[in-house]
Structure 1
Amino acid sequence: MSRQGPALTVDCVVFDAEERLLLIRRGKPPFEGMHALPGGFVDLGERAEEAAARELAEETGIEARPERLIGVYSDPARDPRGHVVSVAFLFRLPPDAPAPRGGGDAAAAAFHADWRELDLAFDHAQILDDALKTPS
């Protein structure tokens, strides 16, 4: 199959027990230096759920499995690099999770209590809005 199409990514929504949101600070363009949800590209042959868990671990040092699907985000203009479709997942933080640390494409990673006041990269504000509307 040699059909060209959009790239596939994943985004991870992770809240701690204090309702703080796990965010990274992007270390590369686009949106370098901005806050964003942990996430990244799905590798060839990889399931979206596996990619989300891998990206979360790479960018924050936290190992967890997705709890549920939030939604699929396919606006062709959502990423300035081109047509990129994202599958967003909600994660439950394991009780023994380590403190987050930036890694991979993330310059930093931390939980934020003031996340509603931050400007987020891509369409991550919409993903968070949808995550909060979805029943747990």
Structure 2
Amino acid sequence: MSTETDKMSNDLVWQIVKKHHAFLVKSSNGATFSGEPGNLMNLQTRSSSGLANMGRTVAVNERNGKLSIGIPAKKLGNRFIFARVGKGAAHLRFAGENAAKSVGGSQALAAARRGARISKNANAARAAKARADKAKA
């Protein structure tokens, strides 16, 4: 059994919700942001929208102190069940340009939660950590 939103295209959903929805935040300087689930960059654009791209969004969740990246696996009624994936979310075809953003965003969130410095080159960070561990020993 499908719901009415399953029958609507993503473009139609975006045209309906782009100016008025519960997650919309408008600031006094004219900037508009959107904080719905699945919108990893908090941008008010069709490509970033978690509402308009409901079947294609990649979610970053934190449960019990652990970050997980999820994709919608299957739909039961009005609830999404998210399958856990690791860094493989960047290789998913249907996630589009938001998959790389979600992996980078989740790594930044994990690093910020640990209090670690975010490095652009992971190999350099690993090498620096190995040198520091070697110096302590």
Q: Same fold (TM over 0.5)?
A: no
Quick one: higher RCO (CA 8 Å, sep 6+), 1 or 2?
1
Tell me the TM-score normalized by structure 2: 0.29
Q: Where is the helix percentage greater, Structure 1 or Structure 2?
A: 2
* Structure showing greater Rg: 2
